[in-house]
Each structure stands twice: as structure tokens, then as C-alpha cells.
Chain A
């Protein structure tokens, strides 16, 4: 069966069975073809984006909520306030923390 794994960090760990900081707090869900990140977060996880900080899919930082989740994806969701800081900001190619209005191809 096609699945995706949602790795949760900070306060979002509460959604997983193993919610300790040294546990892998993971939810496994069925993969839905053409499902967007917005649908996954809002509908299936019942979270608002205001509760979420940095988001990664397969280790890539995500700025757009309409991105389609690939099969067997590793999705990492960090709680509000947990962002790529310091040197990590260079990964986005700019200094904005919370703005998600524009993607930068930094590769």
C-alpha cells in the first residue's frame, strides 16, 4: 500500500502515539494521488497553518501550500516558531522567516 510518513516536532508531537522528544513521533497515512499539502494539513491532520512553523517534504523546505505530496513522501512538520534560523536561512536564499509568498530556486 502507498503511504506517506508525517514526522512531527515540538508541540505537534501530541498528534503521534510516541510523543516524547527522543521518540520518533510519526503518523503513517495512506497516500492520496494529487493531494496537496494544504489538504493534508487542514483536512486530514485538522491543523491550521498558523500552528505550523517550518515544513519539509523529503528534506526540502516547502514554501507553497498547494504543493502535491508525492508517494512515499517524508513530510516533516515543525510547530509554530520552529524555523530554519541562522545558517539555515541561507537554504531559502533570503532572510524572511514566516513569509511564504515566493519560492527561490537555490540549487
Chain B
């Protein structure tokens, strides 16, 4: 299999292999999932019906020796937003698929049976494996059982929530050690789409596969060296775990818990304040100290770790494994977004409780951001006391019971929970809950929350290197208005998603020009092109996604934040979101 699309039909329980069409030749990751969904899925189709398709695509560089490039994109029409969706994650599957020469795996059709299956993908065969005994099983147990039979395999799939077609179901993925199913393409309910196809897990075995080779090896290797050096050199992505150097290796993404708190922009108690007194207790620094404490106490038997890689070939290593007081793993990873959603937003500041809430999310198969917002809605509704971690854990466990109405409502995510429980105060755009940055003091991120096709999503518009923006005409990003800035960021983010690089490479190439050259040269070298126009490629992806959503019925009225953000001042800055509708509309009018 080289450069092939594998098409799995769950109606006929068959598969076909297709050579990748010319029009998709230079696409990968998000670019490819969105192109296939846009070309093959009716925008008005039922997301959980026979017309929807779910697409898994490694990034262009996944499986190569380019550093930190093993991301997997998953795309479909989203049952949560009703629009096009791409969510991506680390884990093992992207590099495994890439080494088998698979550019995309498309699952389509409608099952005409009540059985559950796994899909086994290897060099020699692709087969359905009946898996009824694994239905409704917690994912920690499931991945353990699957590795007993298929060791070293990449696993992605739908957990309990996805199998029950609940809207906040994510696509889980096993971590490189198979100790946790926490590598989630979590957002938008894609797990429910896979569940609607009666597939639990996709097992990818790359035994006998080969590393994808660049067409222009010299250019690729030149770019790779530049990228590696930039990532190692930079204060954020470089350094070494356990030393004074390297913020992400020591504190993970949760380094932001204290920083955003000091910025007065940490959404607290369902977006009532930008400052949380308990933030320090659940911060990346607190995890770091706990890991050190357990290492000192239990030595190598402690399962706590920072500086952990989420996929093979990652040299940023921002992941972690959070231990309990006995040194045993609670969850991996505990990221900033999850610690915020399940902790700060619910005013829970007990680290072990927050880690346990994250573990339950991973086990039942739901996205932590929407889960945390849904928990806050449950607190608004008086179902759980604010700040009570133990009560929140018991509430979340209702999700295991298929007959528990609150559990099912909660697992549909914040928007459905608010509607069901009669709560007006819910932070969602296009049905998807807000991430961990309040848009009142950070208005630029609010513009992206409002206008991205994905629903409220912080990863849709990263503040990308000015050098990248420079390639679009040399503009200094500090001279741009919010609309132009948001569009530029969304476009370049789409490009990085397509390449398969982790978005965090953006930090390293902010201040190091050769890092930017490394990005361009690795992609161009791999594809055998002289130049790969970042902005043009990014804009094309965005246009494809916007067009899909327009046909699905979205209008500019859907590009708005909930009203309370423009009416209610957020302390400590005491500001509202005052970006006008005209400014929001300008983001895509000018593209």
C-alpha cells in the first residue's frame, strides 16, 4: 500500500483500496479530511446517519523523521456543531498508518446489524473483528486487552459515549506506552459518528511497513535539521525535564494555569471571573512537584512523569502522567484545558480530584473541555455543589449507567445539558463549549471562537509566527486589526494541521527564523515541490470548510458569542467582549 485511500463500507462489510486522486496528492491531515468530507458528504445529512463519513488521515509528514509531526486528523460532519469538523491528536495511529502508506481511511455506510466490530489494519490485511464483548467497556480496560492480542498497535476509537451516540463523544487514542487512552481527537462528537458505524476500535499494526520517504531528500533533511535545532534552542520547547530549562518539558501545557490566572483571563465558575484563587493547586507546577515527590518516595516504581512524549518522534514532550499519593498513575495527560475545564471552571482545586475527573472522561470516551463546561452547567442547575470535586466525580460516574438520564445528558456536552436542565448561562458557539481563555480580556481569541467553522475552539487560530504571516505579504502582526489577525492565524493553523506538525512548533519558530525555514523545507522537500505556499494552502482549507457549513445552513448569525460576554463585565479587568458584529463578519468577508 503506497499513497492509498482505504475505504471501509460498514453496510457491505467490505473494503476497497484506491490510489490517491490527483486532486488530493498534496493534501494530508486536516486538508485531506476536510476535502473528502466536503466532496463526499451532503452538508445537510444526519451526522449519525448513513450519509455521514468519518475520515482518519495522518499529516503530510507523519511517520517521517520530521520532529513532532505525528498528528492524526479525524474529520466528519459533527453531531455536536452540525458543521464540518476536524479534530487531531497524537498517539500511535498517525505514524502507523503513514508507515503502511495509508493517506486516509474512510468509514462510510450504515450497519445493517446490531453487532460491534473492531477494524484491524495491517500490511497484509484489513479485516472486521467481531467485538461485542468489548462494547460498553471502560477504555483503560479495553486498550489493555487489545494490546495483549495486538501488541504495539496504534488504537483509536469510540468509547462508551460514542457507542451510545452521545454528542460529546471523542475519538480516543492510546498513548505510546498504552497506559492511557487519553490521546483524544476529542472535540465535536466524532466518537459518536464512529459509534454510528458500529466500530469500537481501529487497530493499526505497521509491522513490515516503511517510513515514508521524501521526494527531495536533501531539502527535507535540511529543513528537518533546522526544525530540530529551533525546537531545541527555544526556551519554551527546548530544555530538559528536571532542569531549570524548558517550560513545556517541566510543566506541560498546564504551565498556563498560573499565567492565564495572572493575566486575569482564567475563566472561573462558569466564566464569572478571570481569576481563581485555587489555580496554583492544580497548576503544571503542582503536577511537577507531585511527580518529584513521588519519585523521591517510590523511585522508579513511581508512575508519575513530566517531559512525556505524546507520540513517537516528539521532541517537545509536553505531556505528563499524574500519579496518586502511592505513585500510581491516575491519568495521562492532565493538560491545561482539562485542568481548567474540570477544575477552575467548576471551582475545584483538588489536584487528585481533577485528575480523577479527567480519568473518567478518558475512560468513558468524552472530551474534557465540553465535559467541564457541562459539569459547570450541572452546578448551575444545583445538581452538584460548586467546588465539590468528590460530588463531581460521583456525578460523572452516572455516565457509565446507560439508564441514567443525567449521565446521558451530561455526556451530550454543555449545550445539550443547559437546554435540558433549563440553564441560560452556557459558553458555547455552534453548540461547542469554550476552551480556557475568557474572550473578554483576550478578545482576539473571542474572534476565533466566534468565526471558526469548528465551534468554539482555541486551536483553530493559533497566534502563529510573524514570519509565517510575513510570507503572506510581510505584515507585522502587531499592525493588524483583530479580523485580519484572526483570519491569518486560522489560515496558518490549518496549514500546520495539514502538515501533521504539532501546533506547538509555532512557539519555537516565533523567535527563530531558521525554524520557519525548517517548516517550509520539510513540507516542500517531502512533497517534491519547490515551494508550498502556506497562506494559499491554509486559505483553501478554510474556504472548503466555510463552504460546507454554508451549505449546511450556517449564516453569520452563527458567528457570535453568547450575549453575556458582551453584557457582563469580567473581573479583575472589568471588561466586556466589545468586538462588533461587523468586525466578526470581516474575518471571512475579506478572504
Contacts and interface: CB of A to CB of B under 8 A. Distances in A.
Interface string B476-512: 1110000001000100000000000000001100110
A56 B253 CA distance: 19
Contacts of A98: 235, 510-511
Given A82-B251, A89-B463, A90-B463, A97 B263 contact: no
B210 interface: no
Given A81-B245, A87-B436, A93-B477, A106 B464 contact: no
A64 interface: no
B507 A97 contact: yes
Prevailing SS type, chain A contact patch: loop
Contacts of A106: 443-444
Contacts of A59: 262-264, 274-275, 572-573
A9 B289 CA distance: 13
Contact of B239 (A21, A81, A83): A81
Contacts of A85: 236, 253, 255-256, 259, 507
Contact of A97 (B236, B262, B442): B236
B265 A22 contact: no
Interface stretch (B47-55, B84-92, B280-288): B280-288
A87 B437 contact: yes
B247 A56 contact: no
B463 A94 contact: yes
A91 to B, nearest CB: 5
B58 interface: no
Nearest to A23: B280
Interface in B423-453: 435-437, 441-445, 448
A56 B477 contact: no
Interface of A: 7, 9-11, 20-24, 53-54, 56, 58-61, 76, 78-99, 102, 104, 106-107
B258 interface: yes
Prevailing SS type, chain B contact patch: helix
Interface residues on chain B, size class: 35 or more
A78 B239 CA distance: 16
Contact of A87 (B247, B274, B442, B511): B442
A84 B485 contact: no
A90 B289 contact: no
Contacts of A89: 462-463
Nearest to A99: B511
A86 B256 CA distance: 9
B253 A86 contact: yes
Contacts of A23: 280
Q: Which 4 A-B pairs have the closest CB atoms?
A: A90-B444, A87-B437, A59-B264, A89-B463
Given A21-B288, A61-B263, A83-B236, A95 B464 contact: yes
B262 A76 contact: yes
B306 to A, nearest CB: 12
B244 A11 contact: yes
B575 interface: yes
A106 B486 CA distance: 14
B182 interface: no
B442 A90 contact: yes
Contact of A83 (B259, B274, B476, B575): B259
B260 interface: yes
A90 B265 CA distance: 11
A94 to B, nearest CB: 4
B462 A91 contact: no
Contacts of B477: 93-96
Contacts of A91: 263, 265, 441-442, 444
Contacts of B246: 81
Contact of A88 (B263, B275, B280, B476): B263
Interface string B111-154: 00000000000000000000000000000000000000000000
A7 B261 CA distance: 12
Given A54-B262, A83-B235, 8 more contacts: A7-B262, A9-B258, A10-B247, A22-B281, A86-B463, A87-B445, A94-B485, A96-B511
Contacts of A79: 244
Nearest to B351: A22
Contacts of B258: 9, 78, 82
Given A11-B244, A95-B477, A21 B280 contact: yes
B478 A80 contact: no
A84 B477 CA distance: 16
Contacts of B7: none
A102 B275 contact: no
A63 to B, nearest CB: 10
8 contacts: A10-B251, A85-B255, A87-B260, A88-B263, A90-B442, A90-B445, A97-B236, A99-B511
A23 B279 CA distance: 11
B174 to A, nearest CB: 25
